[in-house]
């Protein structure tokens, strides 16, 4: 038992990240059934779609699971109401001010975790009354902080100041990475990219293959003027780079991005025109395997790495 397994009443301190177009009820319930904490990613769901995913997840597991709510998307009130109505017990908020929803959720008896990318925002989340903080380094897949603080530096810096449990995210896909994060001060890990390459992830097969094929150096954090996001360097990414060469305004970037790029890439499998969000650690992901196997392998590697370091 540690702070994270206790907080969520789970077996292993492995949290499957909420991820737009990848983390529906199938992935969340598979991870929860395997002893980790599965999260349904509400960011790509209309409110009633989210309700359906929550209901299916409840039917597929009797273990704890949660919902990730990126606060930059519309219909947040409706989403929060559904979460309460459906009796969800754990919410991970991200991309917004933790003050806005924490008190509302806590009043309903919900455990609240907020995702941050800096020490300053970790402290703000703690002040807002959250139960734990996810500190995410800039190697992570998806939307990210502008400052390019790595997980290796962020975790010990947050650890120095934070009193509540700390979850590390960004670049963790193996038990070895998990142990490293915990040695740096984390109580648990949130894993995104690794869980994209599973049969249970709802993302397109072609996207999963692109993740498996990606090597180190194949992703980049871009579009910082809008919302910084780490992408695979595909045709769309090259179009962004070409536009940057013309000193674009944020509106020019917005026009190129258009609507539904992420859906096009990750859900519909358009590897040229779509936005392909994945972390740097994709370079270490070489196969598609069941989510339960990911959890099992990570725990076995974690134990082996622990033994290995005692001989250093
Ligand atoms: C495809 C994809 C979609 C993501 N979508 C979200 C999201 O909707 N909400 C969120 O808080 N984070 C999102 N993230 C970030 C993850 O929650 C997580 O913190 C991150 O993936 C951890 O780093 P890793 O990819 O190196 O494991 C996403 C990441 C990926 C790879």
Query: Is the same domain home to 112 and 238?
Result: no
User: By alpha-carbon position, which residue is closest to atom 13 of ligand 1?
Assistant: 19
Residue 188 beta carbon below 6 angstroms from any ligand 1 atom: no
Q: Looking at the 3D structure of the chain, how many domains does it have?
A: 2
What pLDDT shows up at residue 238? Answer: 97
pLDDT tens by residue, the chain, 312 residues: 899 999 999 999 999 999 999 999 999 999 999 999 999 999 999 999 999 999 999 999 999 999 999 998 889 999 999 999 999 999 999 999 999 999 999 999 999 999 999 999 999 999 999 999 999 999 999 999 889 999 999 999 999 999 999 999 999 999 999 999 999 999 999 999 999 999 999 999 999 999 999 999 999 999 999 999 999 999 999 999 999 999 999 999 999 999 899 999 999 999 999 999 999 999 999 999 999 999 999 999 999 999 999 988
What pLDDT shows up at residue 71? Answer: 94
Ligand 1 center to residue 196 CA distance, Å?
Answer: 10
Domain membership of residue 104 (yes or no) is: yes
Write out the residue range of the structural domain in which residue 36 sits: 3-202+282-303
What pLDDT shows up at residue 1? Answer: 81
Determine the residue of 142, 198, 214, 283 to mutate for testing ligand 1's pocket, defined as the one with the most ligand atoms within 8 A of the Cβ atom: 142
245 burial type by CB count under 10 A (0-12 exposed, 13-18 middle, 19+ buried) = exposed
Domain membership of residue 309 (yes or no) is: no
Residue 17 beta carbon below 6 angstroms from any ligand 1 atom: yes
The DSSP code for 184 is T
Q: Are 70 and 96 in contact (CB under 8 A)?
A: yes
Domain membership of residue 134 (yes or no) is: yes
Query: Is the same domain home to 98 and 113?
Result: yes
Query: Is the same domain home to 152 and 92?
Result: yes
User: By alpha-carbon position, which residue is closest to atom 4 of ligand 1?
Assistant: 19
Residue 68 beta carbon below 6 angstroms from any ligand 1 atom: yes
Domain membership of residue 213 (yes or no) is: no
Q: Please, how many CA atoms are within 13 Å of residue 24, restricted to the half-sphere of its CB?
A: 19
Query: Is the same domain home to 111 and 177?
Result: yes
């Amino acid at each position: 038992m540690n702070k994270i397994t206790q907080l969520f009443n789970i077996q292993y301190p492995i949290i499957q990240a909420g991820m737009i177009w990848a983390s529906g009820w199938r992935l969340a319930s598979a991870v929860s059934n395997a002893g980790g904490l599965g999260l349904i990613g509400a960011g790509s769901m209309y409110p009633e779609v989210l309700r359906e995913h929550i209901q299916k997840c409840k039917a597929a597991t009797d273990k704890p699971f949660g919902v990730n709510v990126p606060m930059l998307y519309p219909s947040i009130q409706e989403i929060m109401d559904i979460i309460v109505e459906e009796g969800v017990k754990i919410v991970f908020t991200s991309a917004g001010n933790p003050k806005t929803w924490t008190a509302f959720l806590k009043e309903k008896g919900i455990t609240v975790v907020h995702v941050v990318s800096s020490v300053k925002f970790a402290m703000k989340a703690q002040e807002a009354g959250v139960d734990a903080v996810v500190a995410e380094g800039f190697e992570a897949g998806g939307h990210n902080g502008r400052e390019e603080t790595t997980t290796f530096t962020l975790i010990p810096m947050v650890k120095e100041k934070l009193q509540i449990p700390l979850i590390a995210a960004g670049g963790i896909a193996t038990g070895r990475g998990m142990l490293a994060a915990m040695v740096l001060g984390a109580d648990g890990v949130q894993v995104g990219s690794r869980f994209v390459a599973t049969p249970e992830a709802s993302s397109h097969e072609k996207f999963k293959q692109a993740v498996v094929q990606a090597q180190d150096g194949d992703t980049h954090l871009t579009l910082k003027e809008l919302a910084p996001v780490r992408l695979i360097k595909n045709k769309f990414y090259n179009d962004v780079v070409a536009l940057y060469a013309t000193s674009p305004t944020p509106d020019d970037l917005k026009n190129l991005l258009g609507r539904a790029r992420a859906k096009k890439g990750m859900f519909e499998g358009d590897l040229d025109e779509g936005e392909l969000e994945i972390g740097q650690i994709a370079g270490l992901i070489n196969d598609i395997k069941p989510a339960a196997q990911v959890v099992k392998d990570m725990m076995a590697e974690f134990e082996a790495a622990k033994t290995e370091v005692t001989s250093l």
